Structure 1
Amino acid sequence: MEVPLIEEALAFTVSTALGEVAVRMTDDHQAADDAPALLLLHANPGDSRDFAAVAPVLAREWRVVTVDWPGFGRSTATDPRQVTADGLVATAEDVLDALAVRHGIRRVCVLGNSVGGYVAARLAQRRADEVAGVVLVDPAGFTPQNAATRFFCRQVMGRQFFARLLVAPLARAYLGGLRTASARATYARARQLRHDTQRLAVHCALWRSFADPRCDLTGPVDRVGAGTTPTLLVWGRRDPVLSAAVDGRRARRALPHAESVLLATGHEPFSERPREFLAEVIPFLRQHATSAWGVAGAAG
């Protein structure tokens, strides 16, 4: 039996244009109502359980909010073929609105991995007053836009026949040898994708959407928070999906104000090496949560 992502969590759904989105939030935080909140956004494919190795530790100091993207985890997708990276940005904005109305949470830090990192970057642009800082973990949006990458997104990973064959071996490669229980659980869920028509359709639609030039974060107008939002770039040196040497370098050039760290991992360092990941991320969050709210987190 799987352990819940965060014990004693408050679960609710948010209606969005793409479907009913499942949200979970720690509800036992003892700090004031305006205490720091941390929104975790997962990769494709995956769901909020991908953060199982780090979320309980983060929940000691922050009100941790997790989201299952439409079609993944406990969320539904109205039309799986219409889910796009930019559609997920709008979905995340709906979640921010719901957090403000239902729970009085009006400022968050956002930690996103892969497509979740792309969404975090866009949130810092569109909702700068509500985003106190972003942690971009091997984020999408920095891959060179050329004929080869567009072909791979549209005609390989964007087609169900090929995606069904490739999703499991690709996940095994980017999860770094499955050395942790979290990585093994994430891999097991990725393997099931080929048997789940809805999830597979969402997975392929998201891949196709990254061939759209609008998903490029490297332009001058695309700098996260116009260079004012505190940003931490975390990249896995052995990431086979979004190369540290190519995508990571382009990200550092596009976001010169960002702090940057390179870890000896694949695509999901929080799952492969959670202690090393937290050692880099927690000081960043403590610094910017404190400056944003004037409230220091109490170490657990």
Structure 2
Amino acid sequence: MGHTVLATPLGDVALHRLGTPATGAPRTPVLLLHANPGDSRDYGAVAAGLAAEREVFALDWPGYGRSTVTAPHSVTPEGLADVAERALDAIAREGAPRVHVVGSSVGGWVAVRLAERRPAQVAGIVLVDPAGFTRLTPLTRWFCRAVMGRPSRAGRLVAPLARAYLGRLRTSSARATYERARGVGAGAGRLAVHCALWRAFAAPGFGLTGVLPGIVPPVLLLWGRRDPLLPALTDGRRARRSLPPGATYATLPAAHEAYNERPDLFLARVRPFLTG
């Protein structure tokens, strides 16, 4: 356990090593990318299960966890993708030229961008209710920009929204994730990052519908059937229709973060994919 600091234009970003295989030869490592808000600890319920077979790394996005942020109002998904590319390079310097990437929500959006930009380094991607498939309408643009993108409003809504998308808080990891989300409104820097990303979700070029079909690395798409934020019947359906040939899709009885709410089912789907 430990972390490396990566210098980026957005701040000093923490790349955590969450675990190494207990026995046997190391397999292709996995890089975990969390949602907004959150940090690497959100994967606490599944990190040990993944680390039983391979090295596990996780990023804290700028302004979250142990990462600093220089200009919180300027953080964008594209900026997060640049940070994640630096993480791939750091992992490669440790002797792992290829990495599986697991991304949740905006982390899923970044995982797709990594597979698009660095197909030789990305062995496969696991997308957990990824952002980028919401239909942009006047209502969704208003919600992203004027509600969740405005600190005076978002500060009051972060906690209740997290309580909804985390589902039943059935695990200690989910409860801890919720408590961290409750604290986002109290930190000006973290709240500014949270709002900047929400505003970026309304940008015309944010969608993934036209990008995902061209992805070369293997893809596993997981969607929570009870996700109130990115519903399976709308966003999940559009994502499934956009999958490249040979991709795998499954729904899980969970809300937005199945790895938090149902780590057993999450691992049952993800571990065979990573091994295969």
TM range (shorter): over 0.9
> Residue 123 of structure 1: CA displacement?
0.5
Is the 8 Å Cα contact of residues 36 and 194 (structure 2) preserved in structure 1?
yes
- Counterparts of 1:110-259 in structure 2 under 5 Å? 110-219=101-210, 222-223=211-212, 226-257=214-245, 258-259=247-248
Q: Which amino acid aligns with 1:212?
A: A
For the aligned residues, what is the CA RMSD? 1.3
1:82 equivalent in alignment to 2:74 = yes
CA separation in 1, counterparts of 2:226 and 2:133? Answer: 16
Cα distance in 2, alignment partners of residues 107 and 31 from structure 1: 18
Structure 2: which amino acid aligns with 1:107?
R
Partner of 1:282: 271
Is the 1:86–1:215 Cα contact (8 Å) retained in structure 2? no
- TM-superposed deviation, 1:227: 4.1
Q: Quote the offset at 1:168 in angstroms.
A: 0.5
Where structure 1 has 5 or more consecutive residues not aligned to the other structure, the ranges are 1-8, 288-300
CA distance in 1, matches of 2:172, 2:166: 11
For 1:66 and 1:202, the matched residues in 2 are separated by: 19
**In the alignment, which of 107, 117, 140 is matched to residue 98 of structure 2?**
107
Residues 217-244 of structure 1 deviation map (CA, whole Å, 9 limit, x = unaligned): 012xx125x2422100000011011111
Partner SS, residue 54 of structure 1? helix
Pair 1:28–1:175, CA change in 2 (3 A): closer
Q: 1:96 aligns with which of 76, 82, 88?
A: 88
User: Separation in 1 of the partners of 2:20 and 2:222?
Assistant: 29
Aligned CA distance change for structure 1 residues 281 and 24 (closer, same or farther; 3 Å): same
Query: How many Å separate the matches in 2 of 1:28 and 1:47?
Result: 20
What SS is found at the alignment partner of 2:102?
strand
In 2: Cα distance, 1:239 partner to 1:149 partner: 16
Measure, in 1, the Cα distance between the counterparts of 2:19 and 2:252.
Answer: 32
Distance 1:201 1:244 in 2: 28
Give deviations 1:2-31, integer Å, cap 9, x for gaps: xxxxxxx13111011111000111564455
Identical columns (%): 57
Aligned to 1:293: none
| Kept in 2: contact 1:25–1:66 (CA 8 A) | yes
Contact 1:138 1:267 in 2 (8 A): yes
Q: 1:177 deviation in Å? A: 2.1
Given candidates 72, 80, 85, the residue that maps to 2:64 is 72
Instruction: Identify if the C-alpha distance between structure 1 residues 27 and 49 changes in structure 2 by more than 3 Å, giving closer, same or farther.
Output: closer
Aligned residue for 1:238, secondary structure, equals: coil
* C-alpha distance in 2 between matches for 1:75 and 1:31: 32
Aligned length: 274
Which residue in 1 is equivalent to 2:258?
A: 269
Q: Which amino acid aligns with 1:281?
A: V
SS of match in other structure, 2:45: coil
Q: Which runs of 4+ in 1 moved over 3 A?
A: 26-33
- Taking the aligned partners of 2:159 and 2:134, their CA distance within structure 1 comes to 22
Three-state SS of the structure 2 residue aligned to 1:12 is strand
Contact 2:18 2:47 (8 Å CA) reproduced: no
- Partner SS for 1:134: strand
Structure 2 stretches of 5 or more lacking a match?
A: none
TM-score (norm 2): 0.96
